[in-house]
């Protein structure tokens, strides 16, 4: 009985405690509005923001596969739920049967802000610039070519299913792209979207009012074709204490390998996209299995000199060698430009070219170039004459200085038989060799990550320079 | 112990009383859900179309024609995309003309479809491809409420054959499902081919072979209810020529060769043979006649098979492909005329015959008139395909009549009449000329 009384008292006290606490602690509303009203407001606000960009938005679009670069789609949203799109890539060119993969294609369709997985931007009628990446069909790559169209007269034995050799056959899956996007965040100039199916985050940026769309794509396509080259090996970036090697850059899908990682197993592949101001990876690089999450990076911007600087980290893309060393790589040959240059060296070059033209034995110079003669194991300056198309080399040496300079030594006394006989018939060539050897040249370029064109400038007189192009 | 329980109840009641002491504010009289506006926006680029859809579907049948795809209403396992606005508009007028108006006409009013028709037609641009089997879904009828129509971006109003096979057959197929889910069909139907359904491997069957069993299509041979819907739909939409061909195929026996290598060789070696294996994924070749090229072939029972069945986008035809095989169905030595290890000889394959009359003319002129004796391939499936098909159609006819008071032959005749006379531009004018002054 005693136990029972104790229990009753305890329960009564507990009940009162609960009752009192529930009365005294009225919680303030966390939100002013109901969830549905807030959702509705978010949709209205987002739509207003989308429509407010008078020249539209730049969407950096990625599909969910590891072999396809990102594509920019420009979008101008109208209040009536129509949207004008423009894009320029090989897949879209195919769709429009254009043989020019850089042609800018345009199409209008509909969009809507809907309540779904939060406020969602959906493009709910078909647009060839966007929805082809979400279809379950195989898309032929490599631009439109009537020869490559699958089955114009039946498949070929060589390639019965896909559009071109090496093309990925995606039948049944497609490219795994999205056409519905959750709005993650927004500012006046940038909206962060997340693909509803792929969960890939994509950036949308307001375009400048005076940005011409065709000019935009001309710039992006030029950057995509010229920023990187397959000929200079891996690039590197140093982030913190980590050396990262970047390869396959011209494919649009970057392979990133950290110094200590295994090249076969631990290379990370990330698609990226070009915009006029830089490149951006589909997702931040965080190392293999997130080992390097402390140095995560995603975005690079172009500097005025054409180099790329990382936005999130202090790092820049760089070649593994200086431009002077690249000039001296034994696998490269460099044509001297006959039309570019200035100062004494250009005068002597012009004279040499004119003298070769005037010499009936040669009838002019086809090329004059620097190369490495593997037989003689010497650097050389080589002439190729128009009449016989034959070659003649004069040998020399290079010395690399500090700060990307090079000192050449071409005496004219050393060469193959064609080389020395041409020197005796065209004495101005000797003057040019003397000038080349007398000056220390600083080697620079306009395209720092793909230096297929080098400028050699006199270190003591910047008005004297000549230009070489990679053969 | 009893009191303890009461005490507890009392204490809890007290707690409840205190917590409920603060009074609730009045509920907002306005619903938090903002409905879609009833009034269409005249400034919208789709105003005329939306108005036409409202008048012709929503007002008439209490049904939405949802052309702005709702991904939440689709299966997320498939990669689907919306249809283009242009194709949706074409499909909207065609569906009205070839489905809704036909039933209204046959039943005398819109009440029938208002009561039994789906409440949502969901328009989807791509097909739903199952990559593991290569099968595609063309239509879905879910719970009798929603019909999804796929591959609308491929719609070509000028191509009557494909319109039938891909869209209108699908509509009638899905609607048959809705109808038989409402009033079931006689179970005798399921017994006719009860032993021949292959729910997992129907897609590997040839159309000629399934006709010979008593099915209108390979898909019909998957399961009985699909057979029922296919029988209804194919009977309604196949033209008299196409239906006659179905019955002709059902009367034959079929010799099947399963070999992807032939396709591969044909593609590389003889592009002119392309129509013979136009479907790049064709893995089976079926033939319904054979003959002997000469006495030596006959002595060795080396047969030259002809009458190759092809199904392309659900349209059936025969080609003039000839293949010669030895009595084991293979060849082991190599002479110059062999183009692969399986066949001794191949020829033709570039001509198509889509009607019984064309087939019989070709057989007569190419073979029998020249004194070549043709042997029909023996029908070994143990089924009288023609009889089975006729029995199924008879059940369908009787069911439409007794359950729905619809004469399916009358329905079929009207569908056929309209199918043969589609003018998409005239139909689209309804949208262009929609009365924008009327609410």
In order of their start, the domains of chain B are: 47-250+385-432 (3.40.390.70), 255-376 (no CATH)
- Please write the tens of the pLDDT for every residue from A194-206: 999 999 999 999 9
Looking at residue A431, what DSSP letter applies? H
Residue A395 lies in a domain: yes
A316 lies in the same domain as A338: no
| Contacts with B, A 105-164, CB within 8 Å | 109-110, 112, 116, 122-127, 131, 134-137, 151, 153-158, 160-161
> What pLDDT sits at residue B62?
93
Cross-chain residue pair B79–A110, CB shorter than 8 Å = no
Residue A244 lies in a domain: yes
User: What does pTM read for this prediction?
Assistant: 0.79
Average pLDDT of chain B?
83
Cross-chain residue pair B267–A156, CB shorter than 8 Å = yes
A232 lies in the same domain as A215: no
Distance (Å, rounded) from C-alpha A133 to C-alpha A179?
Answer: 9
Q: Hey, is the C-beta of A48 within 8 angstroms of any chain B C-beta?
A: no
Distance (Å, rounded) from C-alpha B183 to C-alpha A283?
Answer: 54
Domain with residue A100: its CATH number is 2.40.128.370
**Residue B302 and residue B344 in contact, taking contact as beta carbons nearer than 8 Å:** yes
* B82, B90, B126, B319: best to mutate for the A interface, most A CBs within 10 A: B82
**Domain limits at A210?**
35-153+167-223
A290 lies in the same domain as A350: no
> What pLDDT sits at residue B339?
41
- The three-point CA angle A205-A211-A216 to 5° equals 80
A49 lies in the same domain as A145: yes
**Nearest Cα to A47, choosing from A74, A75, A70?**
A75
Choosing from A304, A320, A336, the residue where a domain stops is A320
A405 lies in the same domain as A426: yes
Choosing from A287, A302, A320, the residue where a domain stops is A320
A352 lies in the same domain as A365: yes
A85 lies in the same domain as A213: yes
Q: Can you list the pairs that A243-249 forms with residues at least 24 positions away whose Cβ atoms lie under 8 Å?
A: A244/A285, A246/A317, A249/A449
> What pLDDT sits at residue B9?
33
Residue A161 lies in a domain: no
Choosing from A275, A300, A320, the residue where a domain stops is A320
**Residue A141 and residue A163 in contact, taking contact as beta carbons nearer than 8 Å:** yes
Distance (Å, rounded) from C-alpha B372 to C-alpha B349?
Answer: 19
A112 lies in the same domain as A96: yes
**Residue A449 and residue A235 in contact, taking contact as beta carbons nearer than 8 Å:** yes
**Residue B355 and residue B245 in contact, taking contact as beta carbons nearer than 8 Å:** yes
- Please write the tens of the pLDDT for every residue from B347-399: 667 788 999 999 999 999 999 999 999 999 999 999 999 999 999 999 999 99
A117 lies in the same domain as A189: yes
Task: State the helix-helix crossing angle for B408-419 and B224-237, rounded to 10 degrees.
Answer: 60
Residue A24 lies in a domain: no
**Nearest Cα to A319, choosing from A406, A236, A443?**
A236
Give mean pLDDT, residues B263-269.
Answer: 49
A210 lies in the same domain as A261: no
- The three-point CA angle A372-A375-A381 to 5° equals 35
- Please write the tens of the pLDDT for every residue from A73-120: 999 999 999 999 999 998 888 888 887 889 999 999 999 999 888 899
> Burial of A329 by CB count in 10 Å (0-12 exposed, 13-18 middle, 19+ buried)?
middle
Strand partners, A66: none
Q: Which two tokens stand for residue A283?
A: 């997702």
Cα of B8 to nearest chain A Cα, Å: 7
Distance (Å, rounded) from C-alpha A58 to C-alpha A74?
Answer: 5
Q: List phi, psi (to 5°) of B308.
A: -80, 125
Quote the strand ranges of B51-165, DSSP E: 64-66, 120-123, 128-130, 135-137, 139-142, 146-149
Instruction: Write the CA distances from A95 to A66, A70, A141, A154, A224, integer angstroms.
Output: 22, 17, 10, 19, 21
Residue A16 lies in a domain: no
Continuous segment of H or E residues that includes residue A247: strand A242-247
Give mean pLDDT, residues B243-251.
Answer: 96
Domain with residue A247: its CATH number is 2.40.128
Number of separate domains in chain A: 3
pLDDT confidence of A22, banded at 50, 70, 90?
low
> Burial of A349 by CB count in 10 Å (0-12 exposed, 13-18 middle, 19+ buried)?
buried
Q: List phi, psi (to 5°) of A57.
A: -125, 155
> Burial of A286 by CB count in 10 Å (0-12 exposed, 13-18 middle, 19+ buried)?
middle
Distance (Å, rounded) from C-alpha A319 to C-alpha B338?
Answer: 58
Task: Scan for tokens 């108005």, then name that residue.
Answer: B51
> What pLDDT sits at residue B409?
96
Residue A283 lies in a domain: yes
Cα of A119 to nearest chain B Cα, Å: 14
Query: Across the A/B interface, how many CB contacts are shorter than 8 Å?
Result: 142
Report percent pLDDT > 90 for chain B. Answer: 55
**Residue A71 and residue A271 in contact, taking contact as beta carbons nearer than 8 Å:** no
A399 lies in the same domain as A455: yes
> What pLDDT sits at residue A151?
34
A181 lies in the same domain as A211: yes
Cβ atoms < 10 Å from Cβ of A439: 23
Residue A277 lies in a domain: yes
pLDDT confidence of A157, banded at 50, 70, 90?
very low
> What pLDDT sits at residue B425?
93
Residues of A in Cβ contact (< 8 Å) with B126: 135-137
Q: Can you list the pairs that B176-180 forms with residues at least 24 positions away whose Cβ atoms lie under 8 Å?
A: B176/B228, B176/B229, B176/B232, B176/B233, B177/B141, B177/B144, B177/B225, B177/B229, B178/B116, B178/B117, B178/B118, B178/B141, B178/B144, B178/B147, B179/B116, B179/B403, B179/B404, B180/B225, B180/B228, B180/B229, B180/B399
**Nearest Cα to A281, choosing from A261, A310, A258?**
A310
């Amino acid at each position: 009985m005693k136990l029972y009384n104790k229990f009753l008292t305890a329960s009564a006290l507990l009940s009162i405690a609960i009752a009192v606490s529930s009365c005294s602690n009225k919680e303030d509303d966390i939100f002013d509005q109901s969830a549905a009203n807030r959702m509705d407001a978010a949709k209205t606000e987002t739509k207003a923001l989308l429509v407010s960009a008078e020249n539209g938005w730049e969407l950096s679009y990625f599909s969910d596969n590891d072999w396809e670069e990102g594509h920019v789609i420009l979008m101008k949203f109208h209040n009536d739920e129509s949207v004008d799109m423009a894009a320029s890539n090989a897949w879209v060119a195919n769709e429009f049967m254009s043989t020019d993969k850089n042609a800018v294609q345009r199409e209008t369709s509909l969009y809507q802000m809907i309540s779904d997985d939060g406020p969602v931007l959906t493009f709910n009628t078909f647009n060839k610039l966007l929805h082809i990446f979400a279809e379950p069909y195989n898309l032929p790559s490599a631009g439109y070519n009537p020869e490559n169209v699958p089955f114009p007269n039946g498949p070929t034995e060589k390639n019965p299913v896909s559009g071109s050799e090496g093309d990925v056959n995606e039948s049944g899956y497609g490219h795994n792209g999205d056409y519905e996007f959750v709005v993650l965040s927004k500012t006046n100039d940038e909206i962060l979207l997340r693909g509803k199916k792929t969960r890939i985050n994509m950036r949308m940026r307001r375009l400048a009012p005076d940005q011409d769309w065709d000019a935009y794509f001309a710039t992006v396509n030029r950057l995509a074709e010229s920023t990187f080259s397959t000929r200079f090996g891996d690039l590197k970036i140093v982030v913190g204490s980590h050396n990262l090697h970047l390869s396959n850059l011209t494919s649009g899908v970057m392979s990133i390998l950290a110094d200590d990682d295994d090249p076969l197993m631990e290379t990370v592949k990330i698609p990226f996209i070009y915009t006029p101001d830089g490149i951006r990876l589909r997702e931040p690089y965080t190392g293999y299995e997130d080992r390097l999450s402390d140095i995560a990076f995603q975005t690079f911007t172009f500097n005025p000199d054409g180099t790329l600087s990382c936005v999130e980290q202090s790092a820049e893309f760089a070649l593994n060698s200086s431009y002077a060393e690249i000039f001296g790589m034994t696998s490269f040959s460099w044509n001297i430009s006959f039309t570019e240059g200035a100062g004494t060296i250009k005068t002597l070059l012009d004279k040499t070219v004119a003298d070769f033209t005037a010499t009936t034995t040669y009838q002019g110079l086809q090329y004059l170039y620097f190369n490495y003669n593997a037989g003689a194991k010497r650097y050389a300056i080589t002439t190729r004459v128009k009449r016989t198309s034959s070659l003649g080399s004069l040998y020399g040496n290079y010395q690399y200085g500090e700060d990307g300079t090079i000192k050449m030594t071409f005496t004219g006394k050393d060469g193959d038989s064609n080389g020395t006989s041409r020197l005796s018939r065209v004495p101005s060539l000797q003057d040019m060799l003397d000038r080349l050897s007398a000056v220390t040249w600083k080697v620079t370029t306009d395209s720092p990550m793909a230096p297929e064109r080098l400028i050699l400038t006199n270190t003591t007189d910047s008005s004297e320079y000549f230009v070489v192009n990679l053969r | 112990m009893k009191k303890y329980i009461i005490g507890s109840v009392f204490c809890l009641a007290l707690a409840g009383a205190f917590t409920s002491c603060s009074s609730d504010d009045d509920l907002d009289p306005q619903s938090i859900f903002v409905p879609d506006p009833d009034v269409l926006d005249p400034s919208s680029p789709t105003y005329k179309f939306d108005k036409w859809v409202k008048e012709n579907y929503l007002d008439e049948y209490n049904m939405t024609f949802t052309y702005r795809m709702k991904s939440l209403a689709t299966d997320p396992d498939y990669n689907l995309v919306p249809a283009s606005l242009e194709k949706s508009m074409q499909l909207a007028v065609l569906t009205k003309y070839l489905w809704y108006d036909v039933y209204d006409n046959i039943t005398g009013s819109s009440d029938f479809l208002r009561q039994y028709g789906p409440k949502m037609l969901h328009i989807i641009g791509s097909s739903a491809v199952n990559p593991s089997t290569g099968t595609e879904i063309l239509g879905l009828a879910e719970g009798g409420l929603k019909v999804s129509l796929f591959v609308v971006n491929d719609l070509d109003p000028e191509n009557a054959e494909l319109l039938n096979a891909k869209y209108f057959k699908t509509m009638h197929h899905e609607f048959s499902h809705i109808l038989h889910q409402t009033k079931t069909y006689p179970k005798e139907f399921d017994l006719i081919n009860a032993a021949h359904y292959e729910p997992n491997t129907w897609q590997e069957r040839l159309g000629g072979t399934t006709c010979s069993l008593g099915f209108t299509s390979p898909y019909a041979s998957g399961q009985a209810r699909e057979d029922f819907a296919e029988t209804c739909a194919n009977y309604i939409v196949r033209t008299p020529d196409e239906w006659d061909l179905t019955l002709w195929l059902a009367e034959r026996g079929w010799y099947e060769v399963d070999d992807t290598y032939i396709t591969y060789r044909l593609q590389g070696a003889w592009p002119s043979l392309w129509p013979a294996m136009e479907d790049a994924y064709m893995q089976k070749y079926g033939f319904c006649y054979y003959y002997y090229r000469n006495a030596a072939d006959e002595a060795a029972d080396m047969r030259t098979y002809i009458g190759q069945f092809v199904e392309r986008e659900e349209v059936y035809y025969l080609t003039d492909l000839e293949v010669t095989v030895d009595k084991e169905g293979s060849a082991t030595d190599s002479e110059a005329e062999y183009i692969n290890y399986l066949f001794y000889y191949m020829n033709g394959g570039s001509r198509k015959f889509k009607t019984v009359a064309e087939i019989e003319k070709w057989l007569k002129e190419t073979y029998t008139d020249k004194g070549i004796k043709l042997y029909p391939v023996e029908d070994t499936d143990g089924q009288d395909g023609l009889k089975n098909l006729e029995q199924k159609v008879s059940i369908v006819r009787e069911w439409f009549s007794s359950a729905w008071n619809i004469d399916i032959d009358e329905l079929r005749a009207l569908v056929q009449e309209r199918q043969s006379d589609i003018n998409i531009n005239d139909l689209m004018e309804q949208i262009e000329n929609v009365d924008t002054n009327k609410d």
